[in-house]
Structure 1
Amino acid sequence: MAAVTQPSFQSTFSPGSNLELQKSSACCSCQEKWIGYKCNCYFISNEVKTWEESKKYCASQNSSLFHLKREDEFQYFRNLSKDVYWIGLLYDETRDAWIWEDGSILSNNL
């Protein structure tokens, strides 16, 4: 699982163990073992957890599952690892839509 943070915002997703970790991005400083990318900090975990377990772990770390907002984020993290990881997206059958943890609907352009 991985976590994203802006100065005090965080979310999560999870690539593999062969990542080159950066301690900071160009505009913010990240905690040890976090990846800095475009003013966000991302935590990558190699632990195997269910989606719900990952969500709870992130909450315990004052973060949330990864919330993809821009195409460049997708490309950057897709290039880090070909593994599959949890993100903060779930299907809401009552709304017949993919919903992010914060309640927003997945953008058609992503």
Structure 2
Amino acid sequence: MSEDVTYADLKFQDSSQTKNIQTFDNLEEKVYITSKTEMGKLNKLQDIKEELERNVSLQLVSNTNISKKIVNLSITMQELATKLCYELYRRQTEHKCKPCPERWIWHEDNCYGLFDNLQTWQKGEELCSAKKASLLKIKNKRILEFVKSQNLRNYWLGLSPRKDYRSYDSMDEKIISSNWYIRDTHYLTNDMSCGYIEKMYIYYDLCTERRKTICEKLANPVKIESMLTIKDPDGRL
């Protein structure tokens, strides 16, 4: 039995479809509005993020500049403290600001210890090592001029022991010599020669002979806080 489709039925179907289309349109519009709103929020958040990144970057640059200024200021203060201490040291060799052990000589960046008890070259090397130092090496003109000014005699030097005997060398000729490097001395034998200083020259003798010892090591940094407590340098220290 066939069903008769009336005008009212068609009208109802059209009305129902229209409502569905309108509902879909409304839903699509809401989705669009919501997406647009969320996109706006996202853009704002992105702007805030970029602003924060710029602020952090500027702060880092500022912190870097401040750090550099602090480093430069520290270097300048250390240089001034060292210069002032050296002036005080020239007046009083055992001044409390001195960066070298007691009775050691301070010159530029190094400390020099002179020990007059006579001993073999190897014992002299061991003495220096025990004091966290090494036998003196004359490796540049500044040290050479300092050594000449001290008029040293009969001190073992930090020259490597040698099997071939030499009578003497001029100190000026030995500055760039590779022989200043002291290798492991376990090979040292009784017939080897070692160098010692005699005023302007370097002489050689058996390493088993007994002579004085001169050691060298890096000076400690001058303590800035020790300089801040010093009174007027015009004699009232």
Give TM-score, length-normalised by structure 2: 0.29
Matched, 1:80 2:161: no
Q: Contact 2:94–2:103 (CA<8 Å) still a contact in 1?
A: yes
**CA distance in structure 2 between the partners assigned to 1:51 and 1:35 by the alignment:** 21
Q: Contact 2:160–2:183 (CA<8 Å) still a contact in 1?
A: no
Q: Contact 1:23–1:30 (CA<8 Å) still a contact in 2?
A: no
The 4+ residue runs of structure 1 with deviation greater than 6 A are none
Percent identical: 22
**CA distance in structure 2 between the partners assigned to 1:66 and 1:83 by the alignment:** 13
**CA RMSD of the aligned region, Å?**
2.8
Q: Contact 2:139–2:180 (CA<8 Å) still a contact in 1?
A: no
Long gaps (5+) in structure 1: 1-20, 104-110
Q: 1:32 aligns with which of 91, 102, 106?
A: 102
| 1:68-88 deviations in Å (ceiling 9; x for gaps) | 221121121122124131111
Tell me the amino acid that sits aligned with residue 101 of structure 2.
Q
Q: Does the residue aligned with 2:116 lie in a helix, a strand or coil?
A: coil
Higher helix proportion, which one? 2
Q: Which has the higher contact order (CA 8 A, sep 6+)?
A: 1
In the alignment of these two chains, the number of paired residues is 78
Are residues 84 and 75 of structure 1, via their aligned partners in 2, closer, same or farther at CA, if it must alter by over 3 Å?
Answer: farther
Are residues 23 and 41 of structure 1, via their aligned partners in 2, closer, same or farther at CA, if it must alter by over 3 Å?
Answer: farther
Q: Contact 1:34–1:41 (CA<8 Å) still a contact in 2?
A: yes
Q: Contact 2:100–2:106 (CA<8 Å) still a contact in 1?
A: yes
Long gaps (5+) in structure 2: 1-91, 164-177, 185-237
- Residue in 2 that maps onto 1:16: none
Tell me the amino acid that sits aligned with residue 90 of structure 1.
S
Tell me the amino acid that sits aligned with residue 73 of structure 1.
I
